[in-house]
Amino acid sequence: MPDHLHAILIFDKSATVTSKLSYQSKFGPQRDNLAAIVRGFKAGVSSWARSKALDFKWQPGFYDRIIRNETEFDKIRHYIATNPSRWQHEQFSEENLYR
């Protein structure tokens, strides 16, 4: 997609990570949450774009959804797979709130 990204992130909470930090937030480590992952991804892409002198800007936010079952996962995966074929038609639609 030329103007947006879709991704499915899977968090495996059964994996254990050991930390050398002596201080532990009462909310737990903040490096393993969605906001931290998105922030790191955006920072990396922004850095890469600057190094290539590209005119690049992020939309100021993101939409997230928790996938709760296999049926919903299949529907979302299908939506992502077919999204490029719809983009050409929908890019100038009045219903498209982000443009």
pLDDT in tens, 64-99: 888 999 999 999 999 999 888 877 776 666 665 444
pTM of structure: 0.60
Q: How far apart are the first and last CA of the chain?
A: 14
* CA R_g for the chain: 18
If one compares 20 and 95, the residue with the highest pLDDT of the two is: 95
Amino acid, single-letter form, for residue 98? Y
Q: Where exactly are the structural domains of the chain? A: 28-62, 65-99
Share of the chain above pLDDT 90, in %: 23
Q: What is the mean pLDDT of the chain?
A: 77
